[in-house]
Amino acid sequence: MTLFEYLTLLIFGLVSGSFLGMLTYRLPRSLHFGGRSYCDHCKRKLSWSENLPLISYLVLKKCRCGKKIPSRYPLIEAATAGFFVLTGFAYSANINSGFLDTLHSRLGPATLPFLLLIVMVLMALAVIDIERQILPDALVYILGLIFAVYFILFANNLLFSHLLWGYLSFLFFLTIYLVTKRRGMGFGDVKLSFVLGSFLGFEQSILWLFGAFTLGAVAGLILLAVRRAKLGLPIPFGPFLLVSFWLTVFYGEKIVGWYLKLL
């Protein structure tokens, strides 16, 4: 990837992040989306110069009504831009790994845009799960639809074995959900596990689940250590599923390689 391509990803990520900031605010509150951005406080529509990702926040800091622009907006914009650049880097560095090679052999030059679209939905899910402890059905279905289109049009020979793994992931999470009596995770995690598991298929699913629980355990211990979370207080599990999914797609083969070398 050239510097120009990384800059394009950065700008595209900032703009997408601006959209995600709006979507993740309005979707869980059942507000109408689409149309121009407005101030969440006074509802005044924003002019184009008030709506520039990151820059408007850094320059203006507040709306004309006097209310500060919530820091979630620049944070989501910066995080999305960061993840876009990271995705571009991880894609070009691992294009020959088994999983990405399969995707690339079927999607060709559309592979990176396809992966960025997935990253966008993952970001939206993670933001809403962190802020509101829910994974909205609409976003899980959109992700499922994106994967369904891919398998039906480009990889229909893989469809049934992948659906089987999605189903097994679903049963695995359903068991945890029932055993922990809903304290461990929500039903949103169970539905999401079907969608993510069926995209990954057999070997990747195992690594993805292992990674999600490892990340969750490490983060839980850190949060306990700094006393930000008391025992029994729910920490949303969705972000760990999503981060582990990203790592599995791009670095799965390398992680397995490092692990086998350790043995």
Total number of residues shown for the chain: 263
What backbone phi and psi angles, to 5 degrees, belong to 62? Answer: -145, 165
- Taking CB under 5 A as the binding criterion, the range among 22-30, 41-49, 144-152, 252-260 that sits at the site for Zn ion is 41-49
Determine the Cα–Cα distance for residues 224 and 37; give it in Å rounded to an integer.
38
Q: Which residue(s) pair with 38 in the sheet?
A: 45
Among 1, 15, 54, 63, binds Zn ion (CB under 5 A): 63
Partnered with residue 62 across adjacent β-strands are 68
- By CB under 5 A, the count of residues binding Zn ion is 5
72: contact with Zn ion by CB under 5 A: no
Site string for Zn ion, 1-40 (x = CB under 5 A): --------------------------------------x-
Q: How far out from the chain centre does Cα 125 lie?
A: 6
Distances (CA, A) of 95 to 82, 148, 199: 20, 22, 17
Binding of Zn ion by 42 (CB under 5 A): yes
Looking at residues 89 to 108 of the shown chain, list those that interact with Zn ion (rule: CB under 5 A): none
State the Cα–Cα distance between residues 209 and 171, nearest whole angstrom: 13
Nearest distance, CB of residue 15 and Zn ion, angstroms: 22
* Residue found under tokens 């659906």: 163
- Say whether residue 229 binds Zn ion (CB under 5 A): no
- Choice from 7, 65, 145, 152 touching Zn ion (CB under 5 A): 65
CB of 219 to Zn ion, least distance (A): 35
Binding site for Zn ion (CB under 5 A): 39, 41-42, 63, 65
